[in-house]
Amino acid sequence: MTAYRSAKIIGTGRYAPEHIMTNDDFTKIVDTSDEWITTRTGIKERRIAENDMATSDLAVEASRAALKDAALQPTDVDLIIVATITPDYLLPATACIVQEQLGARQVGS
């Protein structure tokens, strides 16, 4: 009989860039209004990353918060999954960049 390992989420983390763009800020760029955006999307503000900040940078900050929440070290992580439509590059995968920046161990090590 094959033994199966289970996976579970034991910590969560999040990160949002500090720069906030409100709907009023947005109306200075696009011909729209706060009311139009709010009634159609419910959005009042959005977070904007700095030009030199990549998706992996955001993921690393969120990962550090999740590790702290779980009371774990990066070397305790067995698997990193990053789901995004805005990867840093096509290759290597953003998860590989996060793994390196966190100092998590390589698979099989």
C-beta of residue 47 within 8 angstroms of C-beta of residue 20: yes
Query: What is the separation of C-alpha 102 from the centre of its chain, rounded to a whole number of angstroms?
Result: 13
- What is the domain partition of the chain in residue ranges? 16-48, 52-109
Separation between Cα atoms, residue 47 and residue 70, nearest integer Å: 26
**Taking the CA of residue 69 as centre, how many other CA atoms within 13 Å lie in the half-sphere pointing to its CB?**
12
- H or E, element range at 46: strand 45-48
C-beta of residue 92 within 8 angstroms of C-beta of residue 54: no
pLDDT tens string 3-61: 777 888 889 999 999 999 999 998 999 999 999 999 999 999 999 999 999 999 999 99
The one-character DSSP state at 1 is -
pTM recorded for the entire structure: 0.80
